[in-house]
Amino acid sequence: LTSDEWRGTAEDSNILDWGQFLRERARWKAEGRSGSKTSALVAARGRFNLVANFVLSEIVLTHPAERPALVGKFIRIAWKCYTFNNFATLVAIIAGLHTDWVQKAMHKSWHRVNVYNVRMLKDLAQFVDSNDDFVHMRNAVDAMADWKPAGPPSVSEDVASNKGSTTKSKAGSEPKPQKPPACVPFLGIYLSQLHRFGQLPDLIDPTAPNEAVGVDAETGNFNAPAAPGGVRDTRAAAARDRSSSH
């Protein structure tokens, strides 16, 4: 993510055979070759596409009478992924269920899907929504990253919990260590932000934010600010322009 490898194309992650891809990737690494096949991001994208394509292909190739039951199974699998914090597989399954192929195949069969499963699908789709750089999943991951174990119980709480218990051993009274939460993140959370940041200019002139900053071809230095008088004058002029427009 800190390199330019995230700027891959859709063709790089268009993997049809996962086993063949892994064999070619291992061979490229053994030969010391670099390229899209050795990129971890390409492998993650390819795995995501395979799962999404598996979901849609299984539904489309299933007999129409059995499609509603199969869709319900995929929704429950997606819910399991949510409970296990496996966000990568969760998004892939929801993406497969929302493809045009599945929507056409299930056009006249959605009413046969269990109402509880349909509600679950709507809630999961809202959780993995891409608006604001996947804000819901990003907040969930941030909460896990900021997790801190609860402190040991106080003396009064310990005495109260052990009051009347004379047979409990000391080892049994000790609290079990808390495990920190973990997840399988969806890399699209970070790729969407990198894509948005990548569209910003490398350098912004504070005196003229809407003008590109030039570079001297001989010295390689950036050109001087457009308004050497300072940012204050430019802000004052912008304020006057806004007031006059109103």
Query: What pLDDT, on the 0 to 100 scale, is given for residue 32?
Result: 79
How does pLDDT run along the chain (246 residues), one tens digit per residue?
A: 666 666 666 666 778 888 888 888 888 888 877 766 677 888 888 899 999 999 999 999 999 999 999 999 999 999 999 999 999 999 999 999 999 999 999 998 999 999 999 999 999 999 999 888 899 999 999 988 888 876 665 555 454 555 555 444 444 556 677 777 889 989 888 888 888 877 777 777 777 777 777 777 788 787 777 776 654 454 555 555 566 555
| Residue 144 within any structural domain of the chain | yes
Instruction: Evaluate whether residue 33 is within a structural domain.
Output: yes
- Look at the chain and report how many structural domains it folds into: 1
**216 lies in a domain?**
no
Asked whether residue 21 is domain-assigned, the answer is yes
Structure token pair of residue 74: 């995929």
* Residue 209 belongs to a domain: no
- Which among 195, 211, 189 is positioned nearest to 139, based on CA atoms? 189
Domain containing 50 equals 10-148+181-199
Alpha carbons 67 and 73: distance in angstroms, whole number: 10
Query: What is the model's pLDDT at position 162?
Result: 55
Query: What's the CATH code of the domain at 19?
Result: 1.10.840.10
The answer to the question of residue 163 being in a domain is no
Please state, in angstroms and rounded to a whole number, the distance separating the CA atoms of residues 195 and 10: 14
Residue 171 lies in a domain: no
| Residue 95 domain flag | yes
Q: What is the pLDDT of residue 129?
A: 93
How far from chain centre, in Å, is Cα 227? 41
Output the pLDDT for position 40.
81
